[in-house]
Amino acid sequence: MRRAAAFALCSALMAAWSWGKASISAQAGESCTAGMVMPVQGSEIVARFDGPYQAWMAGHRGIDIRAQKGDELIAPATGIISHAGTVAGKSTVSIRVRSFTLTFEPAQTALPVGTPVLRGKPFAKVAGGSDHCNDACVHWSIKRGKGAYEDPERWLTPQSIRLVPVA
Ligand SMILES: [Zn+2]
């Protein structure tokens, strides 16, 4: 029973990956564990996702990961640099992974927009001067298309563990 449920959720995860128009060959070949890797090696989540029920409501549209200025950021998934620069006075770097946009703040990279990044490889460094994290963490968000923000932790954790109800 538990295995069957896990398999179903696994399929759902793959369906999410195939949402984009691009081929899913890279991820489809991987085991059905975590879809993405932690962007700061050996770190931990210090503030969880708190998605609002409506887009205009307050919330925390990402997770905060303990990090120091200068720490290396690791690409959670294979994609391309889709933004690198300053937004509203904050240094941010974004990676597009199929229809998802992964954004890190504060972050800086020397890589120009359009550069491919590989899952597990460094692509940027944690910057300073964020009022969000008080220079003690990096904020990571995942946006699906032009729509809602998703909980990055969902992609880090095997869904079979978090979402299978206890029967
Ligand atoms: Zn945050």
Per-residue pLDDT, 34? 65
Dihedral sign for Cα atoms in the order 162, 94, 56, 44: positive
Q: Is the pLDDT of residue 1 over 70?
A: no
Distance 60 CA to ligand 1 centre (A): 6
What's the whole-number mean pLDDT along residues 90-94?
95
Range of the domain at 105: 36-156
For the entire predicted model, the pTM comes to: 0.74
In a domain, 25, yes or no: no
Distance 72 CA to ligand 1 centre (A): 18
Distance 134 CA to ligand 1 centre (A): 11
Binning pLDDT at 50, 70 and 90, where does residue 163 land? Answer: very low
Question: pLDDT digit string (tens) for 46-88?
Answer: 999 998 767 677 889 999 999 999 999 999 999 999 999 988 8
Per-residue pLDDT, 131? 77
Question: Which of 9-23, 27-41, 150-164 has the weakest average pLDDT?
Answer: 9-23
User: How many domains is the chain built from?
Assistant: 1
Question: pLDDT digit string (tens) for 7-29?
Answer: 434 444 444 444 333 333 334 33
Alpha-carbon span 139 to 14, nearest angstrom: 25
Dihedral sign for Cα atoms in the order 151, 155, 158, 163: positive
In a domain, 4, yes or no: no
Q: What is the mean pLDDT of the chain?
A: 79
Is-contact 137 66, C-beta < 8 A? yes
CATH code: domain of residue 62: 2.70.70.10
Cβ neighbours, 10 Å, residue 11:
11
In a domain, 91, yes or no: yes
In a domain, 6, yes or no: no
Closest C-alpha to 152, from 116, 100, 109: 100
In a domain, 17, yes or no: no
In a domain, 51, yes or no: yes
DSSP code for 140: E
In a domain, 24, yes or no: no
